[in-house]
Amino acid sequence: MEKKCNLWSFYLILICIGLAVYSLYSNINSKSTWLITPPNYVLLIMILSTLVLGMIGFKNRQNWCSITRSWITVTLSSLTAMVLFLGMAFTALFSSIAVNEPIKTINSPNGDYRIDFYYFDAGATGSFGVRGEIDGPLWFEKRIYYQEGIENVEVSWKSNDKVLINNHSLNLGEGETHGY
């Protein structure tokens, strides 16, 4: 049991770190990337589970490799959990500055696409405008539309894959975006 906890916790922390890095990348470089990582609280739960499994893995003292793997797992999971928790706290403290209000949700004629539009206003710290995101399976989403300086959005579907948003035509089947 301890040997399995040792191995699985090591593999799980590597996966969690990869997901955290991809989450950071997809939020910084949002050009046509799907946001496939789970929400931060789910990632934090996974990392804390890895920490517990890593501590259980300390009981496996067969060789120096398993001891080193346990130390690496516990150290990485502790550091990653602290960084993620601090990032979530920072976001919670300063998210009240910016306003993100849902404007409308539009479905394609055949129901394949669902676009959520949000009005954002950063107040004195930034600009205001509208952004649109496609809902994917599970928690996946893709940012497809971004325009600053507007408060409303006009949407009409040309076909099942083509949408006209504020006089900007997007072919969602080919992955087109505007503003990103």
48-80 per-position pLDDT tens digit: 999 999 888 888 778 888 889 889 999 999 999
Decide: 60 and 2 in contact? Cβ < 8 Å.
Answer: yes
Question: How far is the C-alpha of 18 from the C-alpha of 12, rounded, in Å?
Answer: 10
Question: How far is the C-alpha of 119 from the C-alpha of 134, rounded, in Å?
Answer: 15
Instruction: Between 31 and 55, name the one with better pLDDT.
Output: 55
Q: Give the residue-averaged pLDDT of 153-171.
A: 92
- pLDDT value, residue 95: 64
Please spell the DSSP secondary structure of 73-114, one letter per residue: HHHHHHHHHHHHHHHHHHHHHHTTTSEEEEEEEEE-TTSS-E
Query: Reduced to 3 DSSP states, what percent helix, strand and coil does the chain have, rounded to the nearest 5?
Result: 45, 25, 30
* Mean per-residue pLDDT of the chain: 85
Q: Give the residue-averaged pLDDT of 121-128.
A: 75
Q: Provide the whole-model pTM.
A: 0.61
Question: How far is the C-alpha of 46 from the C-alpha of 35, rounded, in Å?
Answer: 18
Which pLDDT band holds residue 155 (cuts at 50, 70, 90)?
A: very high
The SS3 assignment for 166 reads coil
- pLDDT value, residue 109: 92
Q: Give the residue-averaged pLDDT of 22-47.
A: 78
pLDDT in tens, 89-105: 887 777 656 667 889 99
Which pLDDT band holds residue 30 (cuts at 50, 70, 90)?
A: low
Q: Give the residue-averaged pLDDT of 27-46.
A: 76
pLDDT at 32 over 60: no
